[in-house]
Amino acid sequence: MMLFRASLRRIFTAATLGVSLIALTGCATTQRSPSLFVLDAGASASDTTPQPGAPTLMIAPVTTASYLDQGGIVYQTGPHKVVIANNNRWASSLSRQLTDDLYATLNQRLAGVNVVPASGDQNGRFRLQTHVDQFLGHYDGAAHIAGRWTLVGPKGKILDGHAFEKTVPLAGDGYPALVDSLSRGWQDIARGMVRALTDKLASAPRP
C-alpha cells in the first residue's frame, strides 16, 4: 500500500510540473508580439549626502552567465536543458537591472557607508563585484538564483566573498509570476549582502 501511495504522489507531481511547464512554453510560442518585463525594485535609489570619514563602496556592474543576458527570460525545462523565451523578454539588459536594484538596496540600507556607482577612480575605495550564474525559472515550479559576490579592498586585495543561492516558489503560472519570484529572490540576496558587508567594512582598515 505504501508503494502504491508513493507511485501516486510521483505521478501527481509529474503531472503538475508538466502543466506548469506547458503554461510557460505556451507563453513563449503563441504570443504575436513580445511581452517586456522589468524586475520589481525593492528600494529606490536616492541622492545621499556624502559622509566624511566613512568608507566608500563602489558597486561594479553585475555580470551574468552569457545565456542569461540574451534578452529573453530563461527557464530550465529538464536536468540538462534551458530555453530562452523569444516572446517574453527583459525590457532592458538583465545585467543592468540587477546592478540598479543592487545599488538601490545597498545605498538605502548600508549605514555609515558611502555607496556609489562604479567609476574609473578606485583610489581609496572598496569595490563590490557580483556574478550571477542562475536567474531563471525551473521545472520544479520555483525561481532559481545563484552566484557569488566579492569585496575588493582599495589596494586590490580580496577581503571577503560569498556564494549565494536562492529558491523562491512561484505563486502562479506564467511569466508574471516567474518575474515576481525572481524579483523577491534578488531583493533577499541583496539584503543578505548588507549584513555581511556592514560587518566587513566596519572592521576593514582604511587606506
Domains of the chain listed by start with CATH number: 2-44+54-203 (3.40.50.10610)
CA-based nearest residue to 165, from 128, 197, 136: 136
Full pLDDT tens readout for the chain, 207 residues? 333 233 223 323 333 344 454 455 554 445 568 999 999 876 655 556 667 778 999 999 999 999 999 999 999 999 999 999 999 999 999 999 999 999 999 999 998 899 999 876 677 789 999 999 999 999 999 999 999 999 999 888 999 999 999 999 999 989 999 999 999 999 999 999 998 999 888 877 665
Q: Which residues contact 129 (CB under 8 A, 6 or more apart)?
A: 60, 63, 149, 150, 151, 152
Record the pTM. Answer: 0.81
How would you classify residue 169: left for phi > 0, otherwise alpha for psi between -120 and 50, otherwise beta? beta
* 89 alpha carbon, distance to own chain's centre: 16
CA-based nearest residue to 185, from 109, 139, 132: 132
Q: Are strands 81-90 and 35-37 parallel, antiparallel or unpaired?
A: parallel
